[in-house]
Structure 1
Amino acid sequence: MGLGASQPRLERSPVIWTTLTGLSRPTWHGLRMRAINSSSTASLGMRWTSTARLLRVVLKQVSAARRTCASSTPTEPPATLKTATAPTASKTAPSTALDLQPYSLKPLLRRAMAYESLERYRNAYVDYKTVLQIDTGVQAAHDSVHRITRMLIEQDGMVWREKLPEIPVVPLSVQQEHWEKPVSMEQERARAARVAQDEVRRKEARVSLLKQEGNDLVKRGHFHDAMHKYTECIAIKHDDCALYTNRAISLLKLSRFQEAKQDCNAALLLEPTNKKAFYRRALAHKGLQDYLSASSDLQEVLELDPNVREAEAELLVVTSLLRKSLMDDRPLQM
């Protein structure tokens, strides 16, 4: 279909053109009539060409006007700009609090956690160490310092301390002020629980070290020194069955059978089915020449575990000694 054939329908559709140009219908109608009447002798195709040309000019003017208005009208910033700094809010807020009070415990601890989450481990380490200067009972700070220390050693090697920022020295007045603050009963209980837990850990570490030293001394045949190591362990942790049975070994090797028997008795009070305690008490009874009690203890061992070959062999020996002692004690017949 030719251009001239479609022109009457388009020209007579002012709704379309007013929508495109943004002009009111009377204004558009006036422009249209002026273009059509501009040449009474123009053909239909020429009138359409003139109207199309005029439309292009009007559209350019309207577009330019709209751009001008858009540039002069203030707009709301995008919503994303308002929340762009949200991820760092946890670090920014405590920093503001620290500007007001440089050695405030909670803001320091929270900033340290924020640094750690951002993988800024050196800064986190400094803040955690500062927290511990104020209050050594903050277990979270202790745990984090140990964790970050391992990470920094893996990252920087043995020179990791040289790369740390300077750790501030907390004034004694700040520490004293912190400890003089009134605490609630709940805080007091939590603090006491932490102290007790630290003491238990310290004792466990000490016992473990002494026990290992005692075991090494037994392997080298230094039974007297080993006995003293186990005695130190028992003084710290008197409810550990293995410590008594271990000391019993040293006492047996030193031929101190009565003391070895007492240690085995103590072990059996803690663990009534302990095979080692029964076996070593049997050896103590044997050393004391109480072969009947030794035989009874060895039979207990075999009832608990029939596969203990040492107990089987020792039972044969003890049984032979018991028979011999009974024969020696039998009066001579006349």
Structure 2
Amino acid sequence: MLKGALLASITVMAFAVAGAAEGAITVLGGALAKDCSDAAIRGDDDPRFQEACTLALETELLNPRDRAGTFVNRGVLKLRRAAYSDATQDFDAAVRLQPEMGEAYVNRGAASIGRKRYADGLRDINRSIELGVSEPEKAYYNRALAHEGLDDPKSAYFDYQKALEIAPDWAAPREQLTRFSVSRR
């Protein structure tokens, strides 16, 4: 965190909202739910995979965790197509089914960031960090985006740093950090 007065002033070169990071859920349910899960994990955004998710939700017998995970995965596919409102509906459904599923909150937060609702995004992302997520670096990265949207570059800087600390090979937070200038007062 902050080391005394050493990092007293943090300025950002330019704020441009980068794409939020999303987290998919591994679902072991029926074949369609697994196809949906695999597509979300792979990073696909083809609408036919979204349809597989919908069919899985309509036709497959899924336990509550896999059902919620399928809503999250379909929401992730919608996020990739910038269908933020539709994605939010899926994340809301996942939260109703499994209120302790951190990935539903981090992704709903990402959708809020996409809609420029930074305070809502921050609230959900903080909840996801409390609950725990499989890829916490994405939660910190998204929280940094929310902080930037709320004109809090100092908090954004530290969250990008945390994301990079967790995933040192991930280029996205490293690239964002190049926009910051840190100086002593």
Gap runs ≥5 in structure 2: 1-61
**1:150-173 C-alpha deviation (Å, 9 max, x unpaired):** xxxxxxxxxxxxxxxxxxxxxxxx
| Paired position in structure 2 for 1:279 | 141
Aligned residues, how many?
Answer: 124
1:250 to 111, 120, 123: 111
Counterparts of 1:235 and 1:203 in 2: how far apart (Å)? 10
1:234 partner SS: helix
Q: Which amino acid aligns with 1:245?
A: V
CA RMSD between the two structures: 2.5
Counterpart check, 1:223 vs 2:92: no
Query: Partner residue of 1:22?
Result: none
Pairwise CA distance, 1:211 = 2.2
Corresponding residue number in structure 2 for 1:211: 72
Q: Match of 2:143, SS? A: helix
Seq. identity, %: 26
TM-score (norm: length of structure 1): 0.34
**1:219–1:314 distance in 2 versus 1, CA, 3 Å:** same
8 A contact 2:72–2:103 mirrored in 1:
no
Tell me the residue number matched to 1:288: 150
Q: Write the letter of the residue equivalent to 1:313.
A: E
Q: Aligned partners of 1:205, 1:270: CA distance in 2, in Å?
A: 18
- Residue 150 of structure 2 is aligned to residue 309 of structure 1: no
Q: Give 3-state SS (helix, strand or coil) of 2:82's partner.
A: coil
- Matched letter for residue 93 of structure 2: E
CA contact (8 A) 2:118 2:150 kept: yes
Normalising by structure 2, report the TM-score.
0.60
2:147, 2:95 → 1: CA distance? 23
- Residues 89-108 of structure 1 correspond to what in structure 2 (within 5 A)? none
Determine whether 1:262 maps to 2:123.
Answer: yes
Letter of the structure 2 residue corresponding to residue 283 of structure 1: L
What secondary structure is seen at the aligned counterpart in 2 of 1:248?
helix
Aligned residue type for 1:307? D
| Partner deviation per Cα, 1:269-317 (whole Å, 9 max, x = no partner) | 1128811111100000011110000011111112222212110111122
Written as runs of structure 1 = structure 2, the 5 A alignment for 1:103-118 is none
Q: Does 1:298 align with 2:160?
A: yes
Bigger strand fraction: 2
Distance 1:296 1:204 in 2: 33
Higher helix share goes to which structure? 1
Question: What is the CA distance between 1:205 and its match in structure 2?
Answer: 4.1
Which structure would you say has the larger RCO, counting Cα contacts within 8 Å and 6 or more residues apart? 2
* Structure 2 Cα separation of the partners of residues 205 and 241 of structure 1: 14
In 2, Cα distance between equivalents of 1:303 and 1:204:
30
Q: Radius of gyration: which is bigger? A: 1
Change (3 A) 1:238 1:310: same
Q: Distance in 2 between matches of 1:305 and 1:219?
A: 21
Equivalence map 1:104-183=2 (5 Å): none
How big is each residue's C-alpha offset from its partner over 1:231-268, in whole Å with a ceiling of 9 and x where there is no partner? 11111101111111111111111000001111111011
Pair 204,312 (structure 1): closer, same or farther in 2 beyond 3 Å:
same
1:234 match: 95
The answer on whether the counterparts of 2:160 and 2:173 sit within 8 Å (CA) in structure 1 is yes
